[in-house]
């Protein structure tokens, strides 16, 4: 159990973080992922718009909001 979480998480060679949520591989982000993840941490994945939170030692998807494209990235 990594980081004292109940959720199985792993990092790929591309430095992306993934988790097993509801028997599915879910992308948690790269730089957005809090290290180490602690109770109450929240983050927004820029590539997908998904929002996550650590609740009772588990990572949970709590929503999705539009991805903001910065003007210099257009």
The torsion of the CA quartet 53, 51, 21, 29, rounded to 10 degrees, works out to -100
Question: pLDDT digits over 50-65, tens only?
Answer: 999 999 999 999 999 9
The predicted model scores a pTM of 0.86
Question: pLDDT digits over 12-54, tens only?
Answer: 999 999 999 999 999 999 999 999 999 999 999 989 999 999 9
Domain count of the chain? 1
Range of the domain at 20: 2-65
Q: Report yes or no on 71 lying in a domain.
A: no
Q: Report yes or no on 31 lying in a domain.
A: yes
Q: Report yes or no on 37 lying in a domain.
A: yes
3-class secondary-structure state, position 3: helix
What are the tokens at 46? 């820029």
CA distances from 63 to 22, 42, 51 (A): 15, 11, 5
Q: Report yes or no on 74 lying in a domain.
A: no
Q: Report yes or no on 70 lying in a domain.
A: no
């Amino acid at each position: 159990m990594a980081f004292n979480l109940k959720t199985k998480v792993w990092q790929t060679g591309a430095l992306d973080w993934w988790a097993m949520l509801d028997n599915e591989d879910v992308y948690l982000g790269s730089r957005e992922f809090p290290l180490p993840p602690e109770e109450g941490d929240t983050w927004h994945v820029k590539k997908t718009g998904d929002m996550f939170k650590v609740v009772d030692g588990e990572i949970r998807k709590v929503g999705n909001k539009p991805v903001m494209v910065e003007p210099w990235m257009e």
